[in-house]
Amino acid sequence: MRFNPKRWARAATRCAAALLACAAIAPAVAHQVDTNAPLTLKDEGSFFVGGRDLASDTLSTLPQADPNGTVTVEQMYVQYQIPAHAKAPSLVLIHGCCLTGATWETTPDGRMGWAQYFARSGYPVYVIDQAGRGRSAANAVSIGGVRSGRLPPDALPAGFFVGREFAWTLFRFGPKYPQAYPGMQFPLEAQQQFWKQMVPDWAYSMGTPNPTVPSLGQLAARLKKTVLVSHSQSGIYPFQTLASGASGVAAIVAVEPTACPAATGDVSVYTRVPVLLLYGDFIAQSAWAPRYAACRSFADAVNQAGGHVDVVSTTDLGMHGNTHMMMQDRNNLEIADFITGWVGRNVH
Residue 313 pLDDT level (bands cut at 50, 70, 90): very high
To which CATH superfamily is domain 5-161+197-346 assigned? Answer: Alpha/Beta hydrolase fold, catalytic domain (3.40.50.1820)
pLDDT higher than threshold 60 for residue 107: yes
Higher pLDDT, 99 or 157: 99
98 neighbors 161 (Cβ within 8 angstroms): yes
Q: What is the mean pLDDT of residues 238-243?
A: 98
Higher pLDDT, 309 or 20: 309
Residue 19 pLDDT level (bands cut at 50, 70, 90): very low
pLDDT higher than threshold 60 for residue 17: no
pLDDT higher than threshold 70 for residue 24: no
Sign of CA dihedral 31, 106, 253, 43: negative
- The structural domains of the chain, with segments of one domain joined by +, span 5-161+197-346
pLDDT higher than threshold 60 for residue 336: yes
Q: Tell me: the pLDDT tens digits for 140-165?
A: 999 999 999 999 999 999 999 999 99
pLDDT higher than threshold 70 for residue 289: yes
232 neighbors 96 (Cβ within 8 angstroms): yes
Q: What is the mean pLDDT of residues 329-346?
A: 98
- Mean pLDDT, all residues of the chain: 92
- How far apart, in whole angstroms, are the C-alpha atoms of residue 275 and residue 246? 16
pLDDT higher than threshold 50 for residue 280: yes
Residue 297, pLDDT score: 99
Residue 2 pLDDT level (bands cut at 50, 70, 90): very low
The percent of residues above 70 in pLDDT, for the chain, comes to 91
208 neighbors 243 (Cβ within 8 angstroms): no
∠ CA 15-18-23, nearest 5°, is: 65
pTM summary value: 0.91
Give the 3-state secondary structure of residue 280.
coil
Higher pLDDT, 238 or 24: 238
Question: Given the DSSP bridges, would you call strands 249-255 and 226-231 parallel, antiparallel or unpaired?
Answer: parallel
State which H helix or E strand residue 241 sits in: helix 237-243
CB neighbour list of residue 325: distance below 8 Å, 6 or more residues apart: 103, 171, 186, 194
Residue 23 pLDDT level (bands cut at 50, 70, 90): very low
Half-sphere exposure of 179 (CA within 13 A, CB side): 3
Q: What is the mean pLDDT of residues 295-314?
A: 99
